[in-house]
Amino acid sequence: MKKKKNSRWLLFAGFAAYLVLLLYLTMFAEMLGRTGAHRGYTYNLEPFREIRRFIRYAHVLGFPAVFMNLAGNVLAFMPLGFMTPVLWKRLRSFWLVALISLAASLCIETVQLAFQVGSFDVDDILLNTIGGMLGYGAYRLFLRGGD
């Protein structure tokens, strides 16, 4: 019984560490252009505009930039989609995890807009939500046996 309690505590600690890292990367990471005031603030409200731009100009932007924007936004939310149903039995529904991923991404993007850090991008919300859904899919596949 004590071993199960310790492992659950470790899962919560790992999840908290993930959330702190996510907060850092989305709000404070200088390497991702979060803190510099060297450019004007930008935002995107048109779905798929930035996704199309990154795909269309991949040869100019380079693989690292394209990967960070497209795959990075998906990968960043996969742990949220995976860990939510692991830690909370009541949240073991695909649609609840999708909604939590959407809400968490919308919160981050709204804070970025309010504090003019990074940039508000509706495409990030879409990619983050897909990441949460894929994380849930991994949970179902690996921990629930796909039932």
pLDDT tens digit sequence for 2-51: 677 788 899 999 999 999 999 999 988 876 655 555 566 789 999 999 99
pLDDT tens digit sequence for 83-135: 999 999 999 999 999 999 999 999 999 999 999 888 899 999 999 999 999 99
Residue 144 CA from chain centroid, whole number: 23
**What's the pTM value of the predicted model, to 2 decimals?**
0.89
Domain boundaries, the chain: 2-35+45-142
Instruction: Give me the half-sphere count of Cα atoms (radius 13 Å) on the Cβ side of residue 108.
Output: 28
Percent share of the chain, pLDDT over 90: 76
Token pair 């990619």 is found at 127
pLDDT tens digit sequence for 128-145: 999 999 999 999 999 876
